Amino acid sequence: MRLVAGVLLCCALGAHADEWEDAIARVDALQADIAELIESVTPTVGAVSNYGAELDINTGRVALKLAGMGSGVVISSRGLFLTNVHVIEGAGYLDVALHDGVYRASVFGDTASGVKKGDIAVLQLHGKKKFAHSDWRKGQMARLKPGSVAFAVGNPYGHARDGKPIVTMGIITGKGRAASQRGYLYLDAIQTDAEINPGNSGGPLFDVLGNLVGINGLGRFRKDRKGTGVGYAIPIDQIRTFLREIIKNKGDVAYGYHGLRFDARIKGAYIVRVDPGSPGEKEGLARRDVVLKVNGKKVTSPAEFANIAGKLPEGTVIRLQVRTGKRNRNVRLKLAAAPVTLLGKRSARRAGEHGHLGFWWRSTGRGIFVDRVLDGTGAADAGLQEHDELLAIHGETVTSLKRLRSTLETLEPGELVVVKVARGGETIERVVELCDAGRQAGLEE
């Protein structure tokens, strides 16, 4: 451990025997303190497994194949779990391995629906009533300085899927950084040399007091996929502003959109274009205006402007001091919900995710019949039975397996649908709550 080695070296220089023993005792105490800190936070850290779901339309069975992995941290006793959006993209089924077991997870909300794709996601864990959690209200980026010790905890290369998180230690090497990867933009980010490898994404960054100070999300890797010592974390201060809105709205919150365009080659926060119909245009901002201050803070470049205005959620009102010609004026600008990307409001994380009926079936020349009703599903609760013949779903007549697939792809887990079946010469209609891919695969709650 570099910190311990440094302490020993400093204490050893010119030390007498009794001083050397005292130095060793202090190092032992330091190591014990670090071990105690890590032991206190690791029960809140989880390994995320992201499975793609492949439906066999001939039988209704679902095969789950590991599509990705990452990390995260529990932030409430009721099981809210913080991670990155890019960790859960394209998921048909999610689970999280904690120290005491593996828990099914569903998406609670995220920040990926805007032009600037935010990389903050919140999952809801299922399976027990009370979870150990880290306090997301305590950490402060202002307390961190270059050289401050930090711990990255997570699931590098999938090594923590046994519920035992991996810990790396380093220092804060910078603040206020900007970086991007795979379309996700990091603004006012923390930079650290604590080892961040593939699989660490979404995992917590803790300070020496055990406070959650950020979520690791972006690293620079060599060709052999090993970390280079340059990693970026979203500060918990920034995350807090979105968490409050996600929890209040119980859903997605976009990064705010202002519509101002700058040229980094020109000195100052010099506006070169204002998007038509944007909040900036509505407030009368125009080309050649120069932004001098944002929320009372002086800005001298587009980067400084972005590090303040670019990290706020939709609906936030920012105060600008703007120079137009030779005149300074004050502008209050309300950030809008950023225009939806090509992904649409149904974000990338939901690609391929659709509702399932909660039973397996068999197709014969005479029709499609229920083969097995899965325990704990809406189909079981509704009283569907083996040998029932499937006639219609949600008013759509099921005339073929192709028609069944196209109908299912329009429906979402948790949606209530009317399922019409034939049983013993009678036609029966039941309201069924659709399940997710995990339940359709036959996994227990």
Domain co-membership, 67 together with 154: yes
Cα 162 to Cα 45, 46, 165, distances in angstroms: 12, 10, 8
CATH number of the domain residue 243 falls in: 2.40.10.120
Looking at the structure, tell me whether residues 34 and 64 fall in a common domain: no
Three-state secondary-structure class, residue 9: helix
pLDDT score, position 1: 47
Domain span including residue 418: 354-440
Q: Which of 336, 362, 396 is the last residue of a domain?
A: 336
Count of other CB atoms within 10 angstroms of residue 442: 14
| Strand pairing class (121-126; 101-110) | antiparallel
Asked whether residue 379 is domain-assigned, the answer is yes
- Provide the Cα torsion 214, 220, 226, 227; round to 10°: -40
pLDDT digits (tens, 9 = 90+) for 147-158: 999 999 999 999
Reported as a single tens digit per residue, the pLDDT across 268-303 is 899 999 999 899 999 999 999 999 999 999 999 998
Could you tell me the CATH number of the domain that includes residue 419? 2.30.42.10
Q: Decide: 122 and 110 in contact? Cβ < 8 Å.
A: yes
| pLDDT of 8 over the 80 cut | no
Residues 81 and 52 in one domain: yes
How confident is residue 350, by pLDDT bands cut at 50, 70 and 90? very low
Q: Assign 55 to helix, strand or coil.
A: strand
- Give domain status of residue 445, yes or no: no
> What residue type is assigned to position 269 of the chain?
A
276 — phi, psi (to 5°)? -60, 135
Q: Residues 408, 310: one domain?
A: no
Task: Domain count for the chain, please give it.
Answer: 4
- Predicted confidence at residue 168, as pLDDT, reads 94
User: 226 pLDDT band (50/70/90 cuts)?
Assistant: low
| Structural domain contains residue 88 | yes
